[in-house]
Amino acid sequence: MKKIIIIILSVFLISVFLAPVSADDTYTIKVSAPNGAPALAVAALAAEAPENYTFVAADTIPAEFANKTADFIIAPINAGAKLYKAGKSDYKLAAVVTWGNLYIASQKADFALEDINGAAITLFGENTINASVVLFALAGSGLEPAQVDYLAGAANTQTLLLTDENAIVVTAEPALTAAKMKNEAITAYAVNDLLKAANGFEGFTQAGLFVNADTIANHPEAAAEYLDKAEEAANLAQTDPNALAEAAVALEILPNVKVAQTAIPNCAISFVKALDAKDQIEATAEIDLSQFGGSVPTDDFYYEAK
């Protein structure tokens, strides 16, 4: 009997040591993000393992959804929703990570928001959700520009802001901080403040963290674990912005620590699980449904870790 027990124990121990390791124990999460302010949400994680992160130009983000090589993608929420609705993406929204980094700025003396009335204002990104949000916020605050012009991006409106002393522009962080360091006469107002007056929400759901449906199916524990880490990383914007600034500079997301430390608090970075932000996502979509594929996202667009 003793010999039988020993044999049974030996077989048990061998089976334990030879048992296959769970895929999630060794699975490496890969992340893609635009090389700009939204990437700040995961910068602390990327600085620790840069080989697992790919930073790309913003206009190539749709290709990231299409090739499905990343487990997580940071992208404009409307873009992810539009692709999902069209059947061109299997990625589900896991969290909102940025809530609006847009600012109205001018170097005009004593510039006030009322100066927009009857004046020309230059936005960036015609036919984008950012432009739609700005126009909605202006209208909701009773501000009526006589003319609305467009440039390609925030860097373009930053240049106009610096070179034309009478220009009124919409730009974004961190471009605004860089401009103000070159010209202290610049005055800026957060679009989010106007938006709150227009619809009652603190900001708008700008960029989100999307998770690959294959990762959810095949590596659910790894996906859930990464989201916990991403929440901690994003919330460094409030708890330890200096650490986040150092990570951002190390990754060349921002040019130097001084710009990073000033800009990060104005980038509205905060991790909120997708389902917890659903009402605000729908409110943002209602501003311009065409940017979301014609309707608010359906329930299956949202991911919740089990």
Q: What is the DSSP letter of 282?
A: H
Cα angle: 200, vertex 36, 295; to 5 degrees? 45
Tokens read off for 161: 């802001």
**What pLDDT is recorded for position 23?**
41
**pLDDT tens per residue across span 156-180:** 999 999 999 999 999 999 999 999 9
Rounded distance between C-alpha atoms, residue 284 and residue 111, angstroms: 28
pLDDT above 70 for 10? no
Tokens read off for 146: 């006589």
**pLDDT tens per residue across span 59-96:** 899 999 999 999 999 999 999 999 999 999 999 999 99
**What pLDDT is recorded for position 26?**
85
Q: Where are the domains of the chain?
A: 29-99+205-301, 102-199
pLDDT confidence of 28, banded at 50, 70, 90? Answer: very high
pLDDT above 80 for 262? yes
Dihedral of the alpha carbons of 125, 128, 132, 135, in degrees to the nearest 10:
10
The more confident residue out of 15 and 193 is 193
pLDDT above 60 for 34? yes
**What pLDDT is recorded for position 16?**
32
Rounded distance between C-alpha atoms, residue 43 and residue 160, angstroms: 29
DSSP annotation string for 2-19: HHHHHHHHHHHHHHHHHS
In one letter, which amino acid is 101?
Answer: N
Residue matched to tokens 């036919």: 127
Element (H, E) at 244: helix 241-250
**What pLDDT is recorded for position 305?**
76
What CATH class does 102-199 carry? alpha beta
**What pLDDT is recorded for position 17?**
31
Tokens read off for 168: 């009124």
**pLDDT tens per residue across span 215-241:** 999 999 999 999 999 999 999 999 999
Tokens read off for 245: 């600034």
pLDDT above 60 for 3? no
Mean pLDDT computed over 92-105: 98
pTM over 0.85: yes
Rounded distance between C-alpha atoms, residue 29 and residue 112, angstroms: 47
**What pLDDT is recorded for position 171?**
97
Mean pLDDT computed over 263-283: 97
**pLDDT tens per residue across span 117-167:** 999 999 999 999 999 999 999 999 999 999 999 999 999 999 999 999 999
The pLDDT mean for the chain works out to: 91
pLDDT above 90 for 9? no
pLDDT confidence of 24, banded at 50, 70, 90? Answer: low
Q: Which CATH architecture has domain 29-99+205-301?
A: 3-Layer(aba) Sandwich (3.40)
Distances (CA, A) of 115 to 108, 109, 122, 139: 10, 11, 13, 14
- Confirm whether 29-99+205-301 and 102-199 share one CATH topology: yes
pLDDT confidence of 25, banded at 50, 70, 90? Answer: low
Rounded distance between C-alpha atoms, residue 100 and residue 103, angstroms: 9
Percent of the chain at pLDDT above 70? 92
Chain centre distance of CA 100: 9
pLDDT above 90 for 4? no
Dihedral of the alpha carbons of 255, 260, 264, 270, in degrees to the nearest 10:
70
